[in-house]
């Protein structure tokens, strides 16, 4: 594909509902990252996948957050029982070989608003 694709681009949900965010990485990129960015803030690391496995889940804010990656490609980030503090832009990135310093290619994010 041309780049990292995220869907939906915007999501408004009611407090307490579950949401699922999708990321389509660049074909062939083995590494995939999820970050969260609140208004005017930096990138908060959530989770990193190498292939289908997640060596580092330390950034997930609570057990309401989970992520999976299947087939070494598409990833979904699920937030259960959403809270207002979950409102943010969720960014996904993929990389060819981070061990060699390959850059991260970002999507334009999903803007989540919890009302």
Partner 1 sequence: SQKIEQNSEALNIQEGKTATLTCNYTNYSPAYLQWYRQDPGRGPVFLLLIRENEKEKRKERLKVTFDTTLKQSLFHITASQPADSATYLCALDIPGNNDMRFGAGTRLTVKP
**Are 34 and 91 spatial neighbours (Cβ–Cβ below 8 Å)?**
yes
Report the residue from 4, 19, 21, 112 that binds partner 1 according to the rule CB under 8 A: 4
For every residue of 74-86, DSSP letters joined together read: -EEEEE-S--GGG
**Are 11 and 78 spatial neighbours (Cβ–Cβ below 8 Å)?**
no
Q: Confirm or reject binding of residue 43 to partner 1 (CB under 8 A).
A: yes
Question: Mask 20-39, x = binds partner 1 (CB under 8 A)?
Answer: -----------x-x-x----
Question: How buried is residue 10: exposed, middle or buried, by Cβ count under 10 Å (0-12/13-18/19+)?
Answer: exposed
Q: Are strands 110-114 and 88-95 parallel, antiparallel or unpaired?
A: antiparallel
Shortest Å distance, C-beta 81 to partner 1: 26
CA distance 38 to 88: 5
Shortest Å distance, C-beta 37 to partner 1: 9
Q: Confirm or reject binding of residue 108 to partner 1 (CB under 8 A).
A: yes
Shortest Å distance, C-beta 108 to partner 1: 5
Report the residue from 2, 27, 42, 71 that binds partner 1 according to the rule CB under 8 A: 42
Question: Mask 57-86, x = binds partner 1 (CB under 8 A)?
Answer: ------------------------------
């Amino acid at each position: 594909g041309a780049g990292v694709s995220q869907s939906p681009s915007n999501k408004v949900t009611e407090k307490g509902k579950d949401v699922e965010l999708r990321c389509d990485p660049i074909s062939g990129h083995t590494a995939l990252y999820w970050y969260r960015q609140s208004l005017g803030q930096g990138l908060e690391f959530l989770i990193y996948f190498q292939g289908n496995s997640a060596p580092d889940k330390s950034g997930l804010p609570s057990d309401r957050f989970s992520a999976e990656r299947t087939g070494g490609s598409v990833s979904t980030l699920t937030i259960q029982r959403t809270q207002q503090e979950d409102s943010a832009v969720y960014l996904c990135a993929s990389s060819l070989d981070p061990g060699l310093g390959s850059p991260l290619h970002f999507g334009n994010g999903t803007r989540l608003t919890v009302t």
